[in-house]
Amino acid sequence: MARLYGREWTRRELEARVGRIEQLGGVQPFVMREGPEAAQEVFRVRTGSGLSYWVHPGKGMDISLAEFCGIPVSWSAGNGDPHAAFFREEGNHWLRTASGGLLMTCGLSQAGAAGQDQYGAYGLHGRIHHTPARQAAYQAEWQGDEYEMRLRGVVEETSIFGHKLRLTRTITSRLGENSLQLNDTVENAGFTPAPHLMLYHFNFGYPLLAEDTRIILPESTCAARDTDMEMSRMNEWQTPDHRHAEQVYYHEPLSQETYICAQINSPSFPIPGAASSAGGLTLELKWNRRTLPRLVQWRMPGAGEHVLGLEPSNCWTRGRAEEQEADSLQLLEPGAAVHYEIELKFTTN
């Protein structure tokens, strides 16, 4: 049953109260009209109980703006959501067209710093965030008394004489539930082994991030990417500081459980209509440790770039060559596939 407005409803009880279910929640397709975003198709998903988010088939089926009760929870980059045609792969040009938003996928054969290896030169964070999906579609339908919204697309990273990797993504939400489930399958459609680096770059911003926000990380071994990074403020947030340089931390969760989770607790998150003492929001990010054994934390409380990244991954962010040097580069054999599961859930305090 769908839980809305403080009670549970059957399908027929809800249908009796609306002309069409999209009055309460659902999926709506749009086309963006101006600037670097022009001509892109996007899907807006509304769960009816607070959560809404935008999915971009033209940018790897990634997710841009996400809101809870009309208040943003994600961070949006100053770039906006530029069309993939503006992307240049070389070096750090990824930074000019990356969207920010709730999710930027980094992969499929490269994630992290730009560099060069025996496969050739590669840019920052790979190509998949800037690759349009094929077979992009959505389906919203009743399954008994639950209304399910499901988006699916196929994103391919291919090259003549090179790798042939295929990502099939499904994003699922349900009416009355403030959560989304991400199910990805990456397969090697080629006939030679292919390097496979995968990092899910989730980005959270103001007002979810405030001075009283606390970040609850899984019990892990932890190391800073750079030797001059302080380790004492990983679980805190702060006011914007234009002098602040990014800090990146590498976490290897110790739990042997199948699923690992991290939380962001924001006691002052301004839920409309709630008294100040009754406000607040907790976000839980949960993922399958078997295929995503690492967590990268990007702490950037700068001015403008005021963002926290929580990034489940199968690699660090030093790039493909260093992964190979450390003997941790994952290779996907011809015809082999790997499955990724991530859930994002919002709960009012």
Q: φ and ψ at 186, to 5 degrees?
A: -110, 125
Residue-wise pLDDT tens digits, 206-224: 999 999 999 999 999 999 9
C-alpha–C-alpha distance, residues 203 and 81, integer Å: 14
DSSP state for residue 276 in the 8-state scheme? G
Cα 349 to its chain centre, rounded Å, is 23
| C-alpha closest to that of 202 among 302, 68, 104 | 104
User: Measuring CA to CA, how many Å separate 61 from each of 56, 151, 241, 259?
Assistant: 5, 9, 32, 24
Share of the chain above pLDDT 90, in %: 94
Structure tokens at 210: 């405030």
- Give the three-state DSSP class for 128: helix
**pLDDT at residue 79 in the model:** 97
Model confidence band, residue 115 (pLDDT cutoffs 50, 70, 90): very high
Structure tokens at 91: 């070096």
Residue-wise pLDDT tens digits, 86-98: 999 999 999 999 9
DSSP state for residue 95 in the 8-state scheme? H
**pLDDT at residue 279 in the model:** 73
Measured between its terminal Cα atoms, the distance across the chain in Å is: 23
C-alpha–C-alpha distance, residues 139 and 150, integer Å: 5
Yes or no: is domain 2-348 CATH 2.70.98.10? yes
Residue-wise pLDDT tens digits, 228-284: 777 778 999 999 999 999 999 999 999 999 999 999 999 999 998 765 556 799 999
